[in-house]
Structure 1
Amino acid sequence: MSKNIYVEGLNEIPVPMKKVEIVERKGIGHPDSVADALAEEVSKALCKMYKKEFGHVLHHNTDETQIAAGQAAPAFGGGHIIDPSYILLVGRATTHVGEGKDLKSLPCKPVALKAAREYLRKTFPNLDVDSEIILDAKLGMGSDDLTGVYKASGHLANDTSFGVGYAPFSITDRLVLQTEEYINGVMKKDLPETGQDVKVMASRVGDDITMTVACAMIDKRIDDADHYKSSIEQLYNKVYDNALKIIGSEKVNFKLDINTGDDYDRGVYYLTCTGMSQEMGDDGSVGRGNRCNGLITPYRPMSMEATSGKNPITHIGKIYNVMSKLIADDVAAKVTNEAEIRVRLLSQIGKPVSEPLNASVQIVLPDAETNPNLPKWKSEAEAIAADWLDNVDKVSDMIIEGKVRTF
């Protein structure tokens, strides 16, 4: 069957060559990212339960997780939680199978709660999961029309929707993503005063990049204002040095600002009990943060679909967003690394996921349409897109096994 793949050269200045670029990442401790992560952990846990019980994944979508912020009183040396934040795992799941005397209930809620608790304990060492949050789950059966699409043979799209991806990452992209991963990764052992709620925003104007980092600090690990200031100074030095390593030989001028909301004269500090702003006034929802490449990129094509929590078998909002990124990465790596690659995949409800209504691959260069390599690039890019579309099962497995990011 036709894949409806359309590859074209686009005469346009790629984003990394344009005057202005803005890139953002909400770190793993941001409430929106926490919601994304929990939705995805629940989906993966349900997938594994279904596969163990039935040999395949049953219908579910857990992409509506909500976080209602609590109230806290952080203080140097250690404050306390006044009201815990409330996390509600929301979505659809196959909660029972069979009929009449053969009806069998499935432990969807216990599986979901266990997966969420395990993730929170593993990821947020300064959060007492038993006393500093309230965790609940509301999972019910889906509508007959969508579960009917799901039960039909093969991978049939459960929605008329689209996914978007681009490659390669610019230096601005890489700075933002790798900075957050550094702060919440290897840096933590050297500076445990930092929390997991980290937000990174970069503005590039020409060759000048200004990166702003907001990092929650842990009150019980900081004795006083002088200790706080010292910790921020250490954080600045570590992040700056790491940024220079990321920049390497790139010809950019780099400026770093950290916790610009602080006002030492007025006694204003970004201090938290848990390292998470959801403890005090910051709510969270699935899909309001990073796209499935880990970034928020207003100068690039993006889908508004939440990727996390959607089922990885038929939900286009997940599969096509992930696949678009995989196709773009491959084209950029194997066909041409001098162009910006943009991929958009459009489905039609009830039709095979492997047969999109429109699969668009754009090769973006100022002279793309007249570039002598364009015919070769188009042929190779079409083959890559077709190969990924022929391997929908592989993409689904990668998602279930956690081999691709969703936020």
Structure 2
Amino acid sequence: MRDNIFVSELNQTYIEDLEIEIVERKGIGHPDSISDGIAQSVSNALCKMYEEKLGEGNILHHNTDEVQITAGDSDPKFGGGSVRKPIDILLTGRGIHDYVDENGVEYHFPLERVAIKAAKDWLKENIVNLDVELDTVIECKIGRGSGDLVNVFDRESAIPSSNDTSFGVGFAPLSETESLVLATEELFNSKEFTKKYPATGEDIKVMGLREKDKITLTICCGMVDKYVKNPEEYKAACAVLKEEAEKLAPKYTNRDVEVFINTGDNLDSDDEAGYFLTVTGTSAEMGDDGSVGRGNRANGLITPCRPMSMEATSGKNPVNHVGKIYNILASRIAAEIAEKIPEVKQVHIMLLSQIGRPIDNPKAASTQVILEDGCKLEDVKADIEKIIDEGLENITDIAQDVIAGNARTF
């Protein structure tokens, strides 16, 4: 058992007993989430490019977690408007363009082409009403990696060395409010839902407020104008979202739930400017810029009542960047502890790295728990330590999970 695993009781109120809880989820069409999605898609594409040339598991140093979106300009209209100025998307970060292996074989990687294609593919898959070729301008400015970080990355070892002194956090289980907020956005952005209700754009933000035993959901959704012919159809589309959210709520909570949709609208207006209308389904077409790491954390939520890392998880390399790996791992370990040890009501995990140190051997792996009444820490401490130890033992599995799309980053 590692000697850097620390388990203690959490001196904090159980999340469901807090009088006020706030939870947010930015949907996949929010400009910040688009930045996250593109950043992660580019990183995955670079990983695959390196592996195709160098062999499975041979991923070169890169970080693509600096995507910036500058909003375009559009003219949404009931029945269908137009994009007047395309969205500017800047891909930045670091990567390896040229490489010489131990046998002196030189490799030259088409990094820019691969990155731009990955960005376009993600947009086409996720923002379905966006004409990627006409309504976006994608520029790649991914530079060469810093020598010291590349050196840390290239050190020969079965276990990669951490490229940063940083920390990752995770917690479990999700509260009722957290689960409901996450599920609501995922429902509205599911392929089945948008096929049935095509007016629903991908730019959805769900804000949850729990006041004791009442949950309020404030949902903002950019409606796609070509599927909404007039204010009456717009109001009907909003009514569908309200009804579907109310139907979903009992699956996650017995508390009273009140739902509001697009509260910024001026429903007495016949002018499109009074409604959250979009041409493409995202406010990136006109109203909002976006950046990586400004939205959801690695578990898909923004949770000010919980421990959070400010790291941008999306786009960081999955091999040795602990800003990505430790946030994913901490969430997984927390979920496993909550699932397998019923005496644990709530668990917080913090993993602290030290640059140059093997990623499976953090400087500290701290776990804090709230236990069920009558349970003592010594009753569960060994089981908790075992789960943490096994998680760290298998930490290198995260890289392939990320590349395969089996690990959430935003």
Q: What interval of TM-score do these two structures reach, taking the shorter chain for normalisation?
A: over 0.9
What does 1:303-342 align with in structure 2 at a 5 Å threshold?
303-336=309-342, 338-342=344-348
Measured in 1, the distance between the counterparts of 2:108 and 2:46 equals 14
After superposing on structure 2, the runs of 4+ consecutive aligned residues of structure 1 that deviate more than 6 Å are: none
Structure 2 SS opposite 1:264: coil
Work out which of the residue numbers 164, 167, 170 in structure 2 matches 1:162: 167
1:149 and 1:27 map into 2 onto residues whose CA distance is 35
CA shift, 1:3, in A, is 4.8
Match of 1:184 in 2: 189
Tell me the CA shift for residue 378 of structure 1.
Answer: 1.0
Residue of structure 1 aligned with 2:394, choices 388, 391, 394: 391
Could you tell me which amino acid in structure 1 is paired with residue 226 of structure 2? Answer: K
Map of 1:68 onto structure 2: 70
Q: Given the superposition, is the C-alpha separation of residues 328 and 95 from structure 1 closer, same or farther in structure 2, using an over 3 Å criterion? A: same
Partners of 2:360 and 2:330 lie apart in 1 by 13
Q: Superposed, which structure 2 residues align to 1:179-328 within 5 Å? A: 179-185=184-190, 186-247=192-253, 250=254, 252-266=255-269, 267=271, 268-328=274-334
Q: Offset of 1:374 from its aligned partner?
A: 1.8
What residue number does 2:15 align with?
Answer: 15
The alpha-carbon deviation at position 372 of structure 1 amounts to 3.7
Greater shift, 80-89 or 297-306, is seen at 80-89
Q: CA deviation at 1:244?
A: 2.7
Structure 2 unaligned segments of length 5 or more: list them. Answer: none
Task: State the distance in 2 between where 1:173 and 1:156 align.
Answer: 34
Is contact 2:88-2:138 (8 Å) kept? yes
CA 1:401–1:3: 2 relative to 1, 3 Å? farther
The answer for unaligned runs of 5 or more in structure 1 is none
Query: What CA deviation, in whole Å up to 9, does each residue of 1:289-345 have, x standing for no partner?
Result: 000000000000000000000000110100000000011000000013651100000
Q: Which of 352, 357, 363 is the matching residue for 1:357?
A: 363
Q: Distance in 2 between matches of 1:275 and 1:137?
A: 24
**Per-residue deviation, residues 53-74 of structure 1 (Å, max 9, x unmatched):** 1121110000000000011110
Match of 1:84 among 73, 83, 86: 86
Task: Note the C-alpha offset of 1:238.
Answer: 1.7
Aligned residue for 2:162, secondary structure, equals coil
Instruction: Return the letter of the residue paired with 1:395.
Output: I
2-structure distance, mates of 1:135, 1:205: 43
TM superposition shift of 1:103: 4.1
- TM-score (structure 2 length as normaliser): 0.95
Q: Indicate how the Cα distance of structure 1 residues 228 and 146 shifts in structure 2: closer, same or farther if over 3 A, else same.
A: same
Distance in 1 of aligned mates of 2:53 and 2:299: 32
In 1, distance between residues paired with 2:386 and 2:68?
Answer: 40
The aligned residue for residue 119 of structure 1 is 122
In the TM superposition, what is the alpha-carbon distance from 1:189 to its structure 2 partner? 1.9
Task: Report the equivalent of 2:177.
Answer: 172
Residues 12, 366 of structure 1: 8 Å contact kept: no
Supply the AA of the counterpart residue of 2:342: T
Amino acid paired to 1:355:
N
1:128-183 Cα distance to aligned partner (Å, 9 max, x none) = 00101111111121011000000012310000000000000011001100000000
Identical amino acids, percent of aligned pairs: 47
Q: For 1:338 and 1:228, locate their aligned partners in 2 and report how far apart those are by CA, in whole Å.
A: 46
**Aligned CA-pair RMSD:** 1.5
- Partners of 1:386 and 1:258 in 2: CA distance: 45
Whole-Å Cα distance in 2 between the matches of residues 365 and 379 of structure 1?
14
Residues in 1 aligned to 2:306 and 2:251: alpha-carbon distance in whole angstroms: 25
Number of residue-to-residue matches in the alignment: 400
Does residue 1:28 correspond to 2:34, yes or no? no
Question: d(CA) in 1 for partners of 2:341 and 2:371?
Answer: 14
The offset of 1:17, in angstroms, is 1.6
Q: What is the rounded CA distance, in whole Å, between the counterparts of 1:362 and 1:271 in structure 2? A: 45
| 2:382 matched residue in structure 1 | 379
- Post-superposition Cα deviations, 1:21-71, rounded to whole Å, max 9, x if no partner, equal 000000000000000000000101111111121121110000000000011
Structure-1-length-normalised TM-score: 0.95
- DSSP 3-state at the match of 2:74: strand
SS in 1 for 2:215: strand
What letter matches 2:130 in structure 1?
L
Q: Distance in 1 between matches of 2:375 and 2:268?
A: 62
In 1, the alpha carbon distance for the partners of 2:233 and 2:375 equals 60
Corresponding position of 2:131: 128
Partner Cα distance (1:91, 1:135) in 2: 14
> Contact 1:3/1:356 (CA < 8 Å) preserved in 2?
no
Aligned partner (choices 109, 113, 136) of residue 112 of structure 2: 109
- More displaced 10-residue stretch of structure 1: 150-159 or 28-37: 150-159
User: Over residues 160-217 of structure 1, what are the superposed CA-to-partner deviations in whole Å (9 max), with x where a residue is unaligned?
Assistant: 0000000000110011000000001132122111100000000001000000000000
CA contact (8 A) 1:313 1:396 kept: yes
